[in-house]
Amino acid sequence: MPIKIIIEKCTGCSLCIKACPFDAIRILDKKASIDLNKCNLCGACVEACKLKAILLEKPQPIPLAKDIKDYKDIWVFIEQKNSKIQPVSYELLGKAQELAKKLSCQVVGVLLGYNLDDQLDELIWRGADSIILVDSEKLANFQDEPYTNVLVKLINKYKPEILLCGATAIGRALISRVAVKIKAGLTADCTGLDIDPERKILLQTRPAFGGNIMATIISPDYRPQMATVRHKVMQPMEPDKKRKGKVIREVFDNSSYTSRARLVEIIEEVESLVNLAEADIIVSGGRGMGRAENFRLLEELARVLGGAVGASRAAVDAGWMPYSHQIGQTGRTVSPKIYIACGISGQIQHLVGMQSSKIIVAINKDPFAPIFKVATYGIVGDLFQIVPALTKRFKELKAKGR
């Protein structure tokens, strides 16, 4: 047990109970007793105990990667679903190329799947200098254990300096397992990546403390440096059909593909039906919409413009829109050509999910609403007058064929 009470020393004074932030200690038979389901081994009780009656085993330090200099190149985990490469992979390849120039290294796409040969050229055109391909029917669909086993083996063999992965359902499930197995750090949900010009290490920026600050995280002592990035945060490279690259094919024996879980059926996510991530125009509503029925105004505007409807968390929490429409730190990240924010104040947690949109139109009755700081065009006024007027005007223009 990592923490225990030394019964002979404990007098049941309950100082430890007051010190415990997790309400994990009780007095039973005049002795302290720790509920390990609640305790997070923070050590506050150990410091509070004047009789030194609590023993906390210090966790073993993770040994540093011995030969950091042996690690080279930037890897991008290429995500595929139903044998189709996912757009986030192209976005990461584009970013990886930018970083590779600063490190003078190569960009390697790592692709696990089945029957994907027809998509290899596209990966090279869009930024991969080479591809490591593991082509097996057993990898046709993502499964945690086989994918983790294979990726860990590849990392141990080739030693990449940096590994980037989409912060998608697959990426999140896979890369956290990999990080634990190879004892490397992992920065999830990055919104910015760069290279420290002096130390040549990866600078991983992401919102922290509820999105109130942007934290830049480094992993100087372990390799690979690993980060996940959401879809639509980075820009893909324009395909360059003159680019050439090599394909390294790796083969593993059946033991690498064993899994304790059995894939029974694949059911399409409800969220993907909303298609927010792919929409060119998004009309989003916040608390200013007042009630669920009023979202019909936004649906009408979105329909005329051929767009999708999004929402702030306030609108989702109020039950006016389903969670699959939520945009922001704990919702989706979007980057449409036009984002129209209606009755949304523009708190940082919302902005991180939409501020890379090309044009932002903000409609808000408060001229000091923070959304206006990121807006390309700001309309100060009542959305209940402005939105129907916009819908009417766009309908007229459409009728005239413009």
Ligand X SMILES: Cc1cc2nc3c(=O)[nH]c(=O)nc-3n(C[C@H](O)[C@H](O)[C@H](O)COP(=O)(O)OP(=O)(O)OC[C@H]3O[C@@H](n4cnc5c(N)ncnc54)[C@H](O)[C@@H]3O)c2cc1C
Binding site for ligand X (CB under 6 A): 210-211, 286-288, 312-315, 326-331, 343-345, 347, 349-350, 353, 363-366, 369, 382-384
The rounded distance, in Å, linking the Cα atoms of 113 and 115 is 7
Q: How far is the CB of 329 from ligand X (least distance, A)?
A: 4
> Is 3 within 8 Å of 58 (Cβ atoms)?
no
User: Smaller CB distance to ligand X: residue 23 or 382?
Assistant: 382
The rounded distance, in Å, linking the Cα atoms of 126 and 2 is 49
Task: Please list, in sequence order, all residues whose beta carbon lies within 8 angstroms of the beta carbon of residue 318, skipping any fewer than 6 positions away.
Answer: 287, 292
User: Any alpha helices (H) in 118-269, and if so which ranges?
Assistant: 120-125, 144-158, 169-182
Q: How far is the CB of 76 from ligand X (least distance, A)?
A: 26
Q: How far is the CB of 164 from ligand X (least distance, A)?
A: 23
Q: How far is the CB of 348 from ligand X (least distance, A)?
A: 7
Q: Which helix (H) or strand (E) holds 34?
A: strand 31-34
The rounded distance, in Å, linking the Cα atoms of 245 and 214 is 36
Q: How far is the CB of 216 from ligand X (least distance, A)?
A: 19
User: Smaller CB distance to ligand X: residue 151 or 369?
Assistant: 369
In total, the chain counts a number of residues equal to 402
Q: How far is the CB of 377 from ligand X (least distance, A)?
A: 15
The rounded distance, in Å, linking the Cα atoms of 282 and 361 is 10
b/e string for 10-24 if b means 16 or more Cβ within 10 A?
beebebbbebbeeeb
User: Smaller CB distance to ligand X: residue 127 or 343?
Assistant: 343
What is the β-pairing status of strands 107-113 and 74-78? parallel
User: Smaller CB distance to ligand X: residue 366 or 396?
Assistant: 366
User: Smaller CB distance to ligand X: residue 302 or 383?
Assistant: 383
* Residue whose pair of structure tokens reads 């584009």 in the numeric block: 94
Q: How far is the CB of 361 from ligand X (least distance, A)?
A: 13
> Is 193 within 8 Å of 205 (Cβ atoms)?
yes
User: Smaller CB distance to ligand X: residue 117 or 382?
Assistant: 382
User: Smaller CB distance to ligand X: residue 136 or 330?
Assistant: 330
Q: How far is the CB of 327 from ligand X (least distance, A)?
A: 6
Q: Which two tokens stand for residue 142?
A: 């993502």
Q: Which two tokens stand for residue 188?
A: 């999830």
Q: How far is the CB of 206 from ligand X (least distance, A)?
A: 13
User: Smaller CB distance to ligand X: residue 47 or 382?
Assistant: 382
Helix, strand, coil share (%) of the chain residues, nearest 5: 30, 25, 45
* Residue whose pair of structure tokens reads 């009470």 in the numeric block: 5
The DSSP secondary structure of 36-60, one letter per residue, reads TTT-----HHHHH-TT--EEEPPPP
User: Smaller CB distance to ligand X: residue 65 or 315?
Assistant: 315
